[in-house]
Every structure is written in structure tokens, then in C-alpha cells.
Structure 1
Amino acid sequence: MSTVPQIAAPRSTEASHSAVGAATGLLDAYRGEDRFLATPTRTLLARGMRAAVPHGSEPLARRVADTLAALSPAPDGAVPLVLGAIPFDPAAPAALVVPETVGAGPALAVDPLVALPASAPPRTGWTVRPEPGPEQYAKGVAAAVDRMWEGEFSKVVLARTLQVTGAEDLDLPAMLQRLARRDPDGYTFALPTAPGRVLLGASPELLVSRRGGLLVANPLAGSAPRSADLAEDVRRAAALLESAKDLYEHAVVVDAVHQTLAPYCSSIEVPARPSLVRTAALWHLSTTVTGTLADPGVSALEVASALHPTPAVCGTPTDVARAVIRETEPFDRGFFTGMVGWGDADGNGEWVVTIRCAEAEGRSLRLYAGAGIVAASEPAAETGETTAKFRTFLDAVGAEL
């Protein structure tokens, strides 16, 4: 196993290395059994396990805090941190550990070497099986829209999956390279969730971060596929900013985030209108919500747990939307639309919404994509949105839908 540089960070866990290759070197060193997370503030590569966060009835943030408090700093002065994934269902077991070693570097986006292309994926040998199929998914959307018009609820996020199987075992490091180099400004992750199973993805959406007394949330809702034609791409972006359906869907999410964060903050700022963020595949409506934490004892994970799930991945009212998801989706979401991220004993951390992701096991990948359904939704358009969202991972493996 190759050597990983050890983190000896200040208690903010802030990575400050600026050397060329400091971030991409960690990406290149990733192996399938490692834990990798790249965010707009840092790149982390972790190996081994000092402790696992136990499953239990106490709030997850408390169990994480107790696990970290029981560990002393490493001999080199490194502060323990927790890293991993949390499922959509808050009652299900999380996959969070305190690693033995953590290599830390700056954000991938500031490393010039991230512009170097990843190796091209193989274009043959894949079988793709949708669950549910596009027609069944569209029927589920139509049924949800009918119920919304009857006043049962105002929004639900419905997902579908693809089972992608290859002729050989998956090359996880190569997939991670393609995901990271395609969207280096986002949140790229590869995290074991069970023996022989790895969650990989490139999410654009920050649920919440805490750095000292500053809280930041960046809800995304409302999207449009990118176009290779520049003029058409600009037209789609402009149309998204004026779409009444997407602006309503976005406003529902931003209001929920605002209402949840407000009790934790002594002050909070919410822009009046959304802006745009882009990935390689999609335009998204985006609002950055910032707040000053009122109680310094509240951790990023505690706030993230209060926010999860937002209407961006579940719906509103939450309990009704959860029931509709259970009735409509013919699969268990598992870690899809949960959270991935890191946190330290001081309460700092970054927690990201687990979208644009897949679970890898052996020769198979299960890809996930969802769309926010409101009363103005059209089944064909929402099905097309999920197809566009699948592109992030299909391009990383070289498969076609």
C-alpha cells in the first residue's frame, strides 16, 4: 500500500497545502478500500479505522461526539475526525468511522493538475437494467401529481435506479478519477458502506458546513440539462432562471432550510432570488444561505441531522412525502439522498447531500437519480431529468442508457 501523507492540522481541520499536485496526489493514491472525499475546501484520503461510530437509539450527532471524545490526538498531533456516509432513513445504520490515517490537501479545483484528463472508460461490455423502467416511473409521477392537485401534499421527490453490470470487476480508482476531474468544483466521494460495497459519487449540493461560528447551506432544486451547443446552453440556463415551476420548487426547499436553520443562528442571510450553478451535465437553481451560530456547542452534524431530509430530496410535508416514496419507489434508497461528509471534535465539518451517486459491488453498479415533483410537473419532463442526472455516472463508466 502506498504511503499517505499524515494530517497534522490545526483544530479547524483546515487543509492549507498549496503545492501543485497536493490534491491530485491524494486522488491518484486512492484504492478501493480507502475513504476519499474532495470538497471546495479540502481533499481527504483516509485509511484504516481507529473506531466505528456505533448504531443506537441516541441521536447520531451525540454518538459521533462521544466516539471522538473517547479518542486522544494521534502521536503526531493530528486531531481525530469522523468520515463517512449516512443513509436516507435516519433510523438505519450509518457508515461513519474515525480513520487511522488521513491525508489532507487543498481543494481539487485549485490544483492545476486536475485539468489533466482521466483515462477514457471502456465503451463495451455493459448491461443496463432500469428499475423502474421509464414508463413505470412516468406513471408514478402522474399519480403523485394527481394527488397533489387533490391537496394531499405539495412536493415529493421520486427516484429511479439503473443496475449497470460489467464483464469484469469494477475499476473504482479509474471511475473516481473521471468523476473528480469532470466536476472538480463539486463534492466527490468514494466511501465503503459495507464489506465489498463502496458508495461513489460527485454531488453538487452542500447540505450544511460549519467553520467556527459560520454556518453555510447551499440548497439546490430546479434543474435543466446542459447542451454542447453554447447558444442553446445559455438559453437553457436563462429559461431555468425564469421557470415558474422550477422557481416554486426551489422556493419550497429554501424556505424549509431557512426555517430549520433559524433557531440555530443569531443572524441569518437568505438571498431573495436564486442564482445558477453548473455541473458538466446540468444547470441548477442555487441559493447560498449563511448564518452565525448562536451556540458554539452545536456541531455541523447536529444541524445537518435537523435539516435532513430537505424537500430537495424528500418533499413536503416530510412525513407524507416519505410515505409516497415508500409506496411508489420499488427499491430501498439506502445511502442515496442521505449525507456524506466529515466532522471533528470541535463541531466543524461539511455534510453533503448524497446525489449523483452509485453503489458499487463486484461487477455491478446501482445508479440513482431523482426529480422533484410538484403540481406543475409533466411526467415526460421529469423522466428526462432523471435521464440527464444519470449522465454523471454513465459517463464515468462508459455505459449508455
Structure 2
Amino acid sequence: MATPLIWIDEEVQAEPALARPIPFVFKTAGQTMLALGQLATLGDGALANLAELTSDFFEKQTEGPDVLVGALPFDPTQPSHLVQPERVLRVQGKHDIGAIPGLGGGASSHAAAPRILSVDPDPAAAEFANAVAVALDQLNAPGATMRKVVLSRSLKVMANRDFSAADLMRKLSVDESVTVFATPLPARLHRLRCLIGATPELLLEKRGGHIVSHPLAGSARRHRDTAEDRQAGNRLLASDKDRREHAMVVESILDILAPYCVDLSTPEGTCLRATASMWHLGTRIVGQLKDASLSSVHFVGLLHPTPAVCGLPRNLANDQIMKLEPYDREFYAGAVGWCDSAGDGRWHVSIRCAELDGNHARLYAGAGIVPGSTPEGEVIETSAKFRAMLDAFGIDGGRFDE
């Protein structure tokens, strides 16, 4: 059973909740990283110059932890939100991350969950299916150069009182196959916002001269019945459409990283990757750098957004996203993570997530569209991808594929 985070000192726990910025929480397998407070904000740098900005920041840094934490938006031309925390704590093993100060909960809290007042699809499932059909027309047109595009839809949720990031993180943490995170976002109308999620996808980790990426593309819903569940995984592994979609992502990442590596490989090849609610095709990519001084942010700038969340070629896919999606993705399908002054860092793709803004939340799910996709199939896939977050919010997701 998870134990409370007793390693947070009494001074921090005693601060009024409204006096504290929302903390950054990053829970990977076996370790929880907590960044408390904000000493500085990096500024409004776009991804193209983020490596230079972070390097300049660390050169001028005179106090506080030598780490920046936060989120990068889907659109690499938009400002990132990275902050230098006052304190950073890393703890091994299982802990009750819901007890973290500033997340709107506590280890002994037994308050009832907020009552859901409304759940509004944006776009509706039928409208999303129409957008997929338009994208397929573009992909299948004679002479088409676009090979893949990723389209998303969202659910706008309103409750009778503010959502508790702490309670949501407790529920999401039950699935130990994902990285659970909460990260502050720029305030809107003087209200604190955060992005919370349970992502299965590693964009990039760098430690010294070693890098790892673990892209996912190609998905199928899991089932309660063991035999049916295994069949779903095997069908995904044998699917020509899904393997083609996955190969596009892996080849793109390999092509980008290869010039920087003395060795680059996919040791296990393409394998099934399971979360509590989804099967994915995944390929772990490992590399040894020629120049270990290059930072994790440098490589994130090269990779993001990958074909797993945007498409291929990137510019054509992004044009279609801008035309076919009725909202700005903001930090959905961006990246969340940390980097330090040595250039090390870990960044995950911000999927299976929700933006929290008081008693409002916006949940997101996306699907990769390639020749062979169907509008109905992509509606089913996005409905399945909503499931992890809907379960955390206590919402029955069955009606959102209609």
C-alpha cells in the first residue's frame, strides 16, 4: 500500500494552499519527482531557441536547484512554460502522490468527488468522423505527399466545485505502466491552471551520452476478458495498417537522431506495449551520442512534434490539423518533463491528459490517420483513449463514441 509523502516538511505542508504555486509532479516507474515553488520562469521562448535559452539560463543561475521543469506546447512556435523550482525532491518506491501540497487534496481527505454537471464533446463524434473522412480524402488523393495526420477531439467537463488534482493523480497512479504528471500552466484570468495526465509515451530521455526514445503508434482497446484481450493485442501486432503507421514514426525518429549518434538501434524491435486501458505498438530506440554536451532540450526541439502526434510530413499534417480541429491544442500533444544544467533530462509526450481550470476540465484524445483508416475506427480508438481519464473523473465514457 502506498505511504504518505512524509518527506515533505511541515513548513511546506503548513503554507496556505492559495499561497503556493501548483507543484510539478512527475511519477515514473519506481520514482516520484516533486518540484515545489517557483524561483524563476524561463520566459517565452519557442522550441527552436529553447536549447539556447536553457543554456543561457543555467550559465547565469546563481541560486536554487539547477533544473527546469514544465511543459512544451504542441505548436513549437508557441511559448513553452518552464520554471525553476525552489526545491526538488526525488523519492524511490511507492508513495501517495495525492498528499502533495498544492494539488487540492491531502492524505486524510475523504471529501466526496466533485459532482459532474456537464460533459460536452468538442467536436461531437460525428463531426470528428467527418474530419477523418476529409483527411482520408487528402491522404488518398492522386499524387498525395501527406502520409499521415493525427486528429484529436476533446471533452469539456464542468463540475459543481473545483477538481482536485491530488485525487485525480491518486486514481491515475493505479496504472503503474504510465508516467503520471501534473504541471502548472500559464495563469488565465488570474486563475491557476495545470495539465494532469498519465502518459505511456517517452519522447526522449538523456543521461550523459546515452539517449532513449520509446514512440508509440498503432493502438487498440483492451478488454476485461483475458482471451479477448490477448486476441486484440495480437490483431494489433499483425495489423498491416497499424504497423505501417508505427514504422513511419520510428523511421522519422531514427532519421533525425542518426547524425548525432555513434550507435543507434532498436534492440527489441516493435513490441506490444500495454497500459490498463490500451494496447500500443511500441519501439524502444537507444543511442550513444557523438557529443554528450548536447542537451535533452536540443533533441526534443528536433523531434517534437513527432509523427505520433502530428503526422508526416510535419508541415502538411499540421496544416490539416489547423483546418480540421476546432480548437487550439495548447499543451495537449506537447511534452512534459525536466532538464538540468548538465544537459540531462526526461520528456514524455503529453497525451492521456486533461487541462484543469478550477471546476472546468478539458480532456483530449487523438488518433493517427493513414490510408486504410476508417472514420468509425478512429472514433472507437479515441473513445478508448479517453477511458483512463474518464475513469479518473468518475465519468461513464460509453456514450462518447456515438
Evaluate the alpha carbon distance shift between residue 120 and residue 291 of structure 1 in structure 2; reply closer, same or farther with a 3 A threshold. Answer: farther
- Partner in structure 2 of residue 132 of structure 1: 123
CA contact (8 A) 2:45 2:80 kept: no
The yes-or-no answer on 1:65 pairing with 2:55 is yes
Q: Distance in 1 between matches of 2:6 and 2:204?
A: 25
CA contact (8 A) 1:123 1:398 kept: no
- Partner in structure 1 of residue 178 of structure 2: 186
**TM-score normalised per structure 1:** 0.87
Q: Alpha-carbon deviation of 1:130? A: 0.3
Q: Alpha-carbon deviation of 1:397? A: 0.9
- The SS at the match of 1:105 is strand
Percent identical: 40
The yes-or-no answer on 1:47 pairing with 2:36 is yes
Q: Alpha-carbon deviation of 1:111? A: 2.6
Q: Alpha-carbon deviation of 1:69? A: 2.1
CA contact (8 A) 2:27 2:180 kept: yes
Q: Distance in 2 between matches of 1:368 and 1:202?
A: 12
Evaluate the alpha carbon distance shift between residue 285 and residue 221 of structure 1 in structure 2; reply closer, same or farther with a 3 A threshold. Answer: same
CA contact (8 A) 1:121 1:398 kept: no
Residue type of the alignment partner of 1:128: V
2:167 to 162, 171, 174: 174
Q: Distance in 2 between matches of 1:273 and 1:49?
A: 41
- Partner in structure 2 of residue 3 of structure 1: none
Residue type of the alignment partner of 2:221: P
- Partner in structure 2 of residue 147 of structure 1: 138
Q: Distance in 1 between matches of 2:96 and 2:45?
A: 43
2:199 to 162, 187, 203: 203
CA contact (8 A) 1:277 1:285 kept: yes
Q: Alpha-carbon deviation of 1:278? A: 0.9
- Per-residue CA deviation, residues 212-245 of structure 1 (Å, 9 max, x unaligned), is 1110000000011010111111111111110111
- Partner in structure 2 of residue 303 of structure 1: 299
The yes-or-no answer on 1:283 pairing with 2:275 is no
CA contact (8 A) 2:3 2:95 kept: yes
- Partner in structure 1 of residue 149 of structure 2: 156
Evaluate the alpha carbon distance shift between residue 272 and residue 200 of structure 1 in structure 2; reply closer, same or farther with a 3 A threshold. Answer: closer
Q: Distance in 1 between matches of 2:389 and 2:354?
A: 7
Q: Distance in 2 between matches of 1:167 and 1:112?
A: 29
CA contact (8 A) 2:42 2:54 kept: yes
- Partner in structure 2 of residue 82 of structure 1: 68
Q: Distance in 1 between matches of 2:30 and 2:256?
A: 24
The answer to which structure has the higher strand fraction is 2
Q: Distance in 2 between matches of 1:210 and 1:343?
A: 9
CA contact (8 A) 1:88 1:336 kept: yes
Contiguous gaps of at least 5 residues in structure 2: 98-106, 398-402
- The SS at the match of 2:327 is coil
Q: Distance in 1 between matches of 2:224 and 2:6?
A: 27
Q: Distance in 1 between matches of 2:56 and 2:387?
A: 40
- Partner in structure 1 of residue 102 of structure 2: none
RMSD, aligned α-carbons: 2.3
